[in-house]
Chain A
Amino acid sequence: MNRYYLYLILLNMLINVIMFVPKILIEYRYNGAVMGTLIAIPIGFSLNVLFTKAITKFPEKGFPEIFARSRKRWIINLLFGIISFAAFTAGLISLLGFVDILRRFVNPEMSFMYLLSVFLAGILLITKLSTERVMYLLEIVLFLNTPLILFIIFKAFTSDYLVWDSILEVGTHLFTKPSLKAIAAASYIFAGYTNLIIFNRIIKGKIKGWNFIMVFFLGLFNLFTTFFIPIGFHGSDGAQEYLYPWISTSDSLRLVYSPIERVIFLFLIFYMGITLMSVSVHWHLSYELIKGTYKESKKKDWAVLAVFACISVACALFFHTLLLNKITVHWMLSRFGLEIIVVGLFYIWARRQKT
Chain B
Amino acid sequence: MRTIGNWRIYGLVFSAVFLLSGCGFKDIDKRLFVVSIGVDLAKNSSKKYLISLKFAIPSASKDQPNEFSIVSEKADSMSEAVRILKTKVDKEIDFSHAKVIILSEEVVKTSGNAGIYYWFPRRRDVQGIAWVAIGKPTAQDVLNVKPKSEQLPSNAIFLALGKDGSETPYIIPSLLFDFKYRLIERGIDPILPIIEAQKQIFEINSVGLFNKSHMILHLAPEETKMLNFLKSKEEKSAIKLTKGKTTVVIDTQQVKAKYKIHTPKGKDPYIKFEVSVKGRLEETNRRVTNNQLSGYEKAAEKSLNKEFEDLLVKIQKADVDPLGFGIRYRSRHFNNDDWQQWKRIYPKITFKVVTKVKITDTGLIE
Contact = CB atoms under 8 A, between A and B. Distances in A.
Nearest to A118: B17
A234 B177 contact: yes
Contacts of A118: 17
A351 B25 CA distance: 59
A110 B327 contact: no
Interface stretch (A210-218, A220-228, A249-257, A289-297): A249-257
Contacts of A168: 331-332
A251 B184 contact: no
Given A160-B233, A253-B129, A238 B334 contact: no
Interface in B299-348: 324, 327-328, 330-334, 338
A117 B164 contact: no
A248 interface: yes
Interface residues of A, number: 43
Interface string B1-28: 0000000001001101100111111100
B17 A117 contact: yes
Interface stretch (A42-50, A90-98, A100-108): A100-108
A301 to B, nearest CB: 11
Interface in B178-237: 178, 180-186, 188, 233
Contact of A237 (B14, B22, B185): B185
Highest count of chain B CB atoms <10 Å: which of A164, A167, A169: A169
24 contacts: A105-B124, A114-B17, A114-B22, A117-B16, A125-B10, A161-B175, A163-B188, A164-B331, A165-B327, A165-B328, A166-B327, A169-B330, A175-B334, A233-B181, A235-B182, A235-B184, A236-B330, A237-B184, A248-B121, A251-B129, A254-B175, A261-B129, A262-B127, A262-B129
A172 B333 contact: yes
A269 interface: no
A238 B188 CA distance: 12
Nearest to A238: B184
Contact of A234 (B10, B14, B181): B181
B124 A111 contact: no
Interface in B123-165: 124-125, 127-129, 162, 164
Report, as a range, how many residues of chain B touch the other chain: 35 or more
B128 A252 contact: yes
Interface of B: 10, 13-14, 16-17, 20-26, 121, 124-125, 127-129, 162, 164, 175, 177-178, 180-186, 188, 233, 324, 327-328, 330-334, 338
A310 interface: no
A113 interface: yes
B13 to A, nearest CB: 6
Given A107-B25, A114-B20, A165-B327, A238 B181 contact: yes
Nearest to A235: B185
A165 B331 contact: yes
Q: Lowest 8 A-B CB distances belong to which pairs?
A: A109-B24, A168-B331, A251-B128, A238-B184, A235-B185, A169-B331, A252-B177, A165-B331
Contacts of A163: 181, 188, 324, 327
Nearest to A253: B129
A113 B14 contact: no
A171 interface: yes
Contacts of A113: 20
A111 B17 CA distance: 12
A252 B129 contact: yes
B328 to A, nearest CB: 5
Given A236-B330, A241-B184, 10 more contacts: A109-B23, A111-B21, A114-B21, A121-B10, A161-B175, A165-B324, A234-B180, A251-B128, A251-B129, A254-B175
B253 to A, nearest CB: 19
Contact of A110 (B22, B164, B178, B180): B22
Nearest to B118: A241
Nearest to A124: B13
Contacts of A114: 17, 20-22
A237 B20 contact: no
A262 B184 CA distance: 24
A230 to B, nearest CB: 11
Contacts of B121: 248
Contacts of A262: 127, 129
Interface string A79-99: 000000000000000000000
Contact of B128 (A110, A164, A248): A248
B72 to A, nearest CB: 26
B66 to A, nearest CB: 19
Contacts of B181: 163, 233-235, 238
Contacts of B334: 172, 174-175
A111 B332 contact: no
Contacts of A235: 181-182, 184-185
Nearest to B183: A238
B114 to A, nearest CB: 13
A120 to B, nearest CB: 9
A260 to B, nearest CB: 12
Contacts of B10: 121, 125
B188 to A, nearest CB: 8
A207 B286 CA distance: 76
A248 B175 CA distance: 13
Nearest to B231: A160
Given A165-B324, A165-B328, A238-B180, A117 B20 contact: yes
Contacts of B25: 107, 109-110
A161 to B, nearest CB: 5
B129 A233 contact: no
Highest count of chain B CB atoms <10 Å: which of A105, A108, A160, A252: A252
A163 B177 CA distance: 12
Given A110-B25, A163-B327, A175-B334, A121 B129 contact: no
Interface in A191-209: none
A77 to B, nearest CB: 27
A104 B184 contact: no
B331 A166 contact: yes
A168 B328 CA distance: 9
Contacts of B330: 165, 169, 172, 236
B23 A237 contact: no
A237 B177 contact: no
A254 B129 contact: yes
Nearest to A309: B13
